[in-house]
Amino acid sequence: MVEKKKVDVNEAPVKAKNVGKTKEERKKSAMPQRIIAIVFWLLAFACEIAAILVLNKTLYVGDATKQMYWLIGLLVADLILVIIGSQFWKKGNDIDPASEKDKTRYFLQNQMGLIVSVICFFPIILLLLNNKDLDKKTKKIVTAVACVALLVAGLFSWDWNPISEEQYEKTVSDYQATEIFWTRFGHSYHTSKDCPALKNTKPENLFHGSITEALEAGRNDPCDFCVDQS
Ligand SMILES: [Zn+2]
């Protein structure tokens, strides 16, 4: 009889929307982004391998002109795939940032996109520079394309505003109960809708929600006007 009235103590309390996620939950939510990033990076690397095979004629695609177009096409595909992968990787880091305590790991995790850019372009640049088979003009053009692609891939893959796990946790605990605002294009989060920095933001470009949502959207820079940075 008594048993029937027993309250289930294991029933989880209703989770408030603003409460931050645990490390495990963050890891889990970031996993799909990271897997997608790695798939895109592997495809990019496959394009580089294909380009190398076209370059040394293991893969014969036709005369010199055709070979040049194939090389450029594969390098462009390589570039697009690296950049897409890096965006997913950065998104994963916004959701589950690396700890600052281990400096090497912090750097590697945040700048993995840059490392991948180097892996996906540097070997073929070296092979192009040492190639004696291509005519001078083709060699010049394809090498220039590969160098520009490396530069562009690096710029788009570098994480310009990484956040550490420690900063993330502090920010979430500081603003758990605050409604946060952010915009479609900015990197900042705001604690006031009336912030002067938001004055010219169109309503369709203004978002609001919990601090966790703002950080997961990559808005991790405290606004200079409305966020107390003392
Ligand atoms: Zn602001």
- 3-class state of residue 182 by DSSP: strand
**pLDDT at residue 19, as a whole number:** 55
Share of the chain above pLDDT 70, in %: 91
Q: Is residue 230's pLDDT more than 70?
A: no
Q: Give the Å distance between the CA of 137 and the centre of ligand 1.
A: 53
DSSP at 103:
H
Q: Give the Å distance between the CA of 49 and the centre of ligand 1.
A: 47
**pLDDT at residue 5, as a whole number:** 45
Give the bridge partners for 206, in sequence order.
183
Alpha carbons 77 and 81: distance in angstroms, whole number: 6
Q: Give the Å distance between the CA of 197 and the centre of ligand 1.
A: 5
Q: Give the pLDDT band (50/70/90) at residue 21.
A: confident
pLDDT tens digits, 50-102: 999 999 999 999 999 999 999 999 999 999 999 999 999 999 999 999 999 99
**pLDDT at residue 228, as a whole number:** 81
Q: Give the Å distance between the CA of 160 and the centre of ligand 1.
A: 20
Helices marked H in 158-223: 165-175, 211-216
Q: Give the Å distance between the CA of 226 and the centre of ligand 1.
A: 4
Q: Give the Å distance between the CA of 206 and the centre of ligand 1.
A: 12
Q: Give the Å distance between the CA of 198 and the centre of ligand 1.
A: 7
pLDDT tens digits, 136-191: 999 999 999 999 999 999 999 999 989 999 999 999 999 999 999 999 999 999 99
Sketch the domain layout of the chain as residue ranges: 23-157, 165-222
Q: Give the Å distance between the CA of 90 and the centre of ligand 1.
A: 23
Q: Give the Å distance between the CA of 181 and the centre of ligand 1.
A: 8
Alpha carbons 167 and 185: distance in angstroms, whole number: 22
